[in-house]
A = this chain, B = another copy of it.
Amino acid sequence: MAKVQVVFHIDEMEKWGLLLNNVQNLIHGLAGTDSRIEVVANSKAVEFYRAAANTNGTGLALKLAEAGVDFAACGNALRGLKIEPEELLPFIRTVPSGVLELVKRQQAGYAYLKP
């Protein structure tokens, strides 16, 4: 199989459990394949990235980040919710615009998934 590139989109807090499960299944299904997996959170879903959110699932997110998954936060959403970069979990990357990130990735050949 050709190199696999996937970008996941999430904008609702309630979808994190489903999304992380999807990512985990994808990694398992890809075992050994050259791949790039990115998760882009915008709107209220960025709240999950706050270290203080103590949300179920941040442990799994960290494990997936250590397995190479790239977690990105929308800078517009962070600003709107008054979340400071230093409040985020340490493995989160901030991008200026979540939607623009999603568009750029698709232009670069990434598949798009919205759980």
Instruction: Please report which residues of chain A, range 89-111, place their CB below 8 angstroms from some CB of chain B when the two chains form the complex.
Output: 96-100, 102-104, 106-107, 111
A115 within 8 A of B: yes
B22 near A42: Cβ-Cβ < 8 Å: yes
Report the bound CA distance from A30 to B100 in whole Å. Answer: 8
Q: Does A1 contact B (CB under 8 A)?
A: yes
What size tier do the contact residues of chain A reach? 20 to 34
Alpha-carbon distance between A25 and B107 when the two chains are bound, in angstroms: 18
Considering the chains assembled together, what is the distance between the CA atoms of A9 and B114 in angstroms?
9
Instruction: Return A33 CB to nearest CB of chain B, in Å.
Output: 10
Q: Give Cα A9 to B30, complex, Å.
A: 19
Residues of chain B within 8 A (CB-CB) of A18 are 11, 43
Tell me the smallest distance from the CB of A35 to a CB of chain B, in Å.
9
Q: How far is the CA of A106 from the CA of B30 in the complex (A)?
A: 15
9 smallest CB-CB distances across A and B, nearest first, come from A29-B97, A106-B111, A29-B100, A103-B111, A26-B99, A25-B76, A22-B99, A114-B114, A25-B97
Q: A25-B74, A25-B76 are in contact. List 17 more A-B contacts (CB 8 A).
A: A1-B104, A2-B107, A6-B99, A11-B115, A18-B43, A21-B43, A25-B97, A25-B100, A26-B97, A26-B100, A29-B96, A29-B97, A29-B100, A103-B111, A106-B112, A111-B112, A114-B114
